[in-house]
Structure 1
Amino acid sequence: MRLGPIVAKTVMYLFLILIAITCLVPFYSMFITSTHANSDIARSLLFWPGDQFMENYNRLIETVNIWRGFANTIFITVAFTCLNLYFAALAGYGFSKYNFKYRGGLFLFVLGTMMIPGQLGIIGFYKLMNALNMLNTYWPLILTGIRDAFGIFLMKQIADSSVPNEIIESGRIDGYGELSIFHKLILPLMAPGLATLGIFSFIGKWNDFLTPMIILFDNDLQTLPVMIASVKSQFSSDFGAQYVGIVISVVPILIFFSIMSKRIISGVAAGAVKG
């Protein structure tokens, strides 16, 4: 029996286990820290669970309406992600399969916007929202999902590689309109790419801190990251309560990621079997 393949496989598995542990350590530390008092958190690095989770949670809900912020963030993030996925897929499909004047230049312009940090336009964005009377509303946080240069680029690449022109032509022969072809034939083929973009979009909007802090003035409208950052005592930050808030905010991300990652894997597996 040859030992070479066995040793190589053992080393590979050990390396993967090490990477998995490295990825899980921050989550473990976050959960453990949320169960300790502020004095313990400030004094030492914690490895074992404590008994202060409920005390930290009680201080958290006394300071901010954390579950209202949770509901606000869910609503904003889901609405933003749905808009982002639909319009990114629509624009990416258009750039991929339709020949129109200045297509190349327009696509390069879209890619060029990715090079500009979003923070540079925050003042102009604030003034525009003020002119449109959208300050202190959720519209600026949701409608921005319509434009996403990275999403358009990703969906164009997906359409180039996974959407055959023959399917589009067959849909036209069967009498489908262009939007019907997109909805009934194209979107299912782009599902793995949509799941990938959905993960980025959901996590990015869920963790968005700057835009809600600038646009929203009413505390009851604020999102979870802003509420967690505002958890402070009279003289210092309440780290125990903040870590409990972080734990609450991380759970939906983990659930969404697990659902979408399965969708990606199933799509890849289906494509492999088809090939």
Structure 2
Amino acid sequence: MNKSMKGSRNLTKSIIYVVCIFLSLLSVFPFWVMFMNATRGTFEIQQNSIGLVPSKFLVSNFLILSGKSFNAAKGFINSMTISIGATFCAVYFSSLTAYALVAYNWKWRQPFFTFILAVLMIPAQVSSIGFYQFMYHIGLTNNFLPLILPAIASPSMVFFMRQYLMANLSLDIVNSARIDGSGELSTFNTIILPIMKPAMATQAIFTFVLSWNNLFLPLILLTDSDKYTMPIMVSLLRGDIYKTEYGSVYLGLTLTVLPLFVVYFLLSKYIIAGVSLGAIKE
């Protein structure tokens, strides 16, 4: 009986491993094709769009990419500036707002939280025209600030951080810090932020990726080529159907995606920790 149960467990584990390996390969496959196509020529890609082995056109694709006024260094710096700024603003101020919703018992706390949730139902595209007109009238077009500062108001992140704090923060710690004479902001920076580290890292990954891949708002706000982000530069690579160099386009996409891989691998260990800890109350 024990042998049959053990054999059944081993079979179940084997099936789980096979499924996980298959799903992992399925997730990696599109990126692998993109990386391989970055080394292939346009003719090869048109003949067979899926290539699993590298070719010899990487250097020529890069030369074509440079000839199309694709300044990878400038685009990388611009995108990194916007993404890091937006990520910091979103994570820090959303954590601060969530802390206020948990640690303070004030009259309008629940209506304020309800209002934050209501804002989630408003699509960002609805306010884009008015937002652009407002930025134009105050002279902030061709400026990175309109792409960074609005990240301070992130309703979805406030909701996530609030749920995390409700499950993991003991108000006795806050009260003890107040008795010891710690200021409110000092308490938040030195005690609350370390407790929220897994949740902050999790949200930082999502916010950085969304900000890095953002094309709509930068495309309507940035008209100066020196301020173009990587997604804008990639979107401008494609010419008419007879002149598009698909190899250089794939290379541009690869250069755009690489920083996302770096950020993900640096912070990925916090994703499961942040989600699981946020669902468990000790």
- State whether TM-score is above 0.5: yes
SS in 2 for 1:3: helix
For 1:60, which of 44, 59, 65 is the aligned residue? Answer: 65
Alpha-carbon distance between aligned partners in 1 of 2:7 and 2:156, rounded to the nearest angstrom: 46
For 1:193, which of 184, 199, 204 is the aligned residue? Answer: 199
The CA deviation string for residues 137-186 of structure 1, in whole angstroms up to 9 with x for no partner, is 11101111111011111111111111111110111111101111100100
Alpha-carbon distance between aligned partners in 2 of 1:269 and 1:201, rounded to the nearest angstrom: 19
Measured after TM superposition, the shift of residue 270 of structure 1 is 9.7
Structure 1: which amino acid aligns with 2:13?
K
Measured after TM superposition, the shift of residue 9 of structure 1 is 0.8
Structure 2: which amino acid aligns with 1:48?
V
Measured after TM superposition, the shift of residue 262 of structure 1 is 2.5
Alignment match, 1:238: 245
Alpha-carbon distance between aligned partners in 1 of 2:59 and 2:125, rounded to the nearest angstrom: 37
How many residue pairs match? The answer is 273
Matches within 5 A, 1:1-275: 1=3, 2-44=6-48, 45-63=50-68, 64-233=70-239, 235-264=242-271
Alpha-carbon distance between aligned partners in 2 of 1:237 and 1:170, rounded to the nearest angstrom: 65
Question: TM-score normalized by structure 2?
Answer: 0.92
SS in 2 for 1:115: coil
The CA deviation string for residues 234-267 of structure 1, in whole angstroms up to 9 with x for no partner, is 6443221111111111111111111111344677
Measured after TM superposition, the shift of residue 43 of structure 1 is 2.2
Alpha-carbon distance between aligned partners in 1 of 2:35 and 2:270, rounded to the nearest angstrom: 27
Alpha-carbon distance between aligned partners in 2 of 1:196 and 1:160, rounded to the nearest angstrom: 17
Question: TM-score normalized by structure 1?
Answer: 0.94
Q: Please, which moves more after superposition, 155-164 or 228-237?
A: 228-237
The CA deviation string for residues 191-232 of structure 1, in whole angstroms up to 9 with x for no partner, is 000011001100000000011110011001010000011013
Alpha-carbon distance between aligned partners in 2 of 1:159 and 1:267, rounded to the nearest angstrom: 11
Are the equivalent residues in 1 in contact too, given 2:202–2:274 (CA < 8 A)?
Answer: no
Alpha-carbon distance between aligned partners in 2 of 1:237 and 1:156, rounded to the nearest angstrom: 48
SS in 1 for 2:51: coil
Structure 1: which amino acid aligns with 2:54?
P
Alpha-carbon distance between aligned partners in 2 of 1:111 and 1:10, rounded to the nearest angstrom: 43
Structure 2: which amino acid aligns with 1:4?
S
Measured after TM superposition, the shift of residue 8 of structure 1 is 0.8
Structure 2: which amino acid aligns with 1:36?
R
Shift in CA distance, 143/107, structure 1 to aligned 2, threshold 3 Å: same
Are the equivalent residues in 2 in contact too, given 1:65–1:220 (CA < 8 A)?
Answer: no
Measured after TM superposition, the shift of residue 233 of structure 1 is 4.3
**Structure 2 unmatched runs, 5+:** none
Alpha-carbon distance between aligned partners in 2 of 1:195 and 1:270, rounded to the nearest angstrom: 13
**Structure 1 unmatched runs, 5+:** none
Instruction: State, as a whole percentage, how many aligned pairs show the same letter.
Output: 33
Alpha-carbon distance between aligned partners in 2 of 1:148 and 1:269, rounded to the nearest angstrom: 22
The CA deviation string for residues 26-56 of structure 1, in whole angstroms up to 9 with x for no partner, is 1111101111111221221322211111111
Shift in CA distance, 264/5, structure 1 to aligned 2, threshold 3 Å: same
Measured after TM superposition, the shift of residue 68 of structure 1 is 0.6
